Amino acid sequence: MQTAIIFDMDGTLFQTDLILERALEQTFEHLRGNGLWSGRTPIETYRRIMGVPLNVVWETLCPVHSAEIREQSNQHFQVALINEIEKGNGALYAGVERTLQKLSEKYPLYIASNGETAYLQAIMERYRLNRWIKKCYSIDQIESKDKSHLVEHIMNEQSVHCGYMIGDRASDINAAIHNKLTSIAVNFDFAQLGEIRHANFIVNQFPDIFNIVMHEPLGV
């Protein structure tokens, strides 16, 4: 059994905000071009729900569309996101690489994300996160599409008995509570204080995570 640190990806390690608008605009332009959407792209709606499973995203953004159209829209969106990543239009948050490096010297690091596998792999490859992250897990692997269950799966597969869950949304904090992990919330782009107020710790800069992990006892 081991102590580990599990990270969310979007809005925690990766600045999804830098590529989100372009990818979503491309997707809804495709819908408009096919007579399936009129009006502006619902970017603000997506910002509010960022972090929920993708099936919920498309049910929310396209409430009157068929499941087939939603799936096609998501596929178009995923391709657009990956293209933006490969073009170098995204970025990690300040201090992520150095902090991951230092943390990995003491703990195994994992990712638990609501993002799709191909999208996560594009980020992992672009920023060579495998230097520090032992394995990246997608919600695709969990039938329930529940992040609490994804984190539970990671802990079982990796023989993790305690540690930290780090993220920016309610699903991350709930996953920590469900799995008896210490929660650290990052108050970045998509974070909402109403969702993260129950975290054990809240940080405004990524490097502050290192100080908490190194100096605070688990189970605070």
**At 156, which CATH number?**
3.40.50.1000
**With bands split at pLDDT 50, 70 and 90, how would you rate the model's confidence at 87?**
very high
Q: What contacts 182, CB < 8 A, 6 or more positions away?
A: 163, 164, 165, 176, 200, 201, 216, 218, 219, 220
CA–CA dist 94, 84 (Å, integer) = 19
Is residue 210 domain-shared with residue 115, that is, in the same domain? yes
At residue 125, what are phi and psi to the nearest 5 degrees?
A: -75, -40
In a domain, 33, yes or no: yes
In a domain, 220, yes or no: no
pLDDT at 217: 63
In a domain, 74, yes or no: yes
Decide which of 69, 86, 103 is a domain's last residue: 86
Is residue 131 domain-shared with residue 176, that is, in the same domain? yes
Mean per-residue pLDDT, 147-161: 97
pTM reported for the whole predicted model: 0.92
Decide which of 86, 111, 144 is a domain's last residue: 86
Domain residues for the domain of 134 are: 2-15+91-215
Is residue 31 domain-shared with residue 10, that is, in the same domain? no
In a domain, 143, yes or no: yes
Is residue 72 domain-shared with residue 99, that is, in the same domain? no
In the predicted structure, residue 220 carries a pLDDT above the cut 50: no
The DSSP bridge partners found for residue 111 are 7, 136
Is residue 79 domain-shared with residue 164, that is, in the same domain? no
pLDDT at 215: 83
Is residue 101 domain-shared with residue 149, that is, in the same domain? yes
pLDDT at 1: 76
Is residue 176 domain-shared with residue 162, that is, in the same domain? yes
- Dihedral sign, Cα of residue 72, residue 69, residue 139, residue 202: positive
In a domain, 40, yes or no: yes
CA–CA dist 82, 119 (Å, integer) = 6
Tokens 């991951």 correspond to 100
For residues 111 and 214, the model is more confident at 111
**With bands split at pLDDT 50, 70 and 90, how would you rate the model's confidence at 80?**
very high
In a domain, 10, yes or no: yes
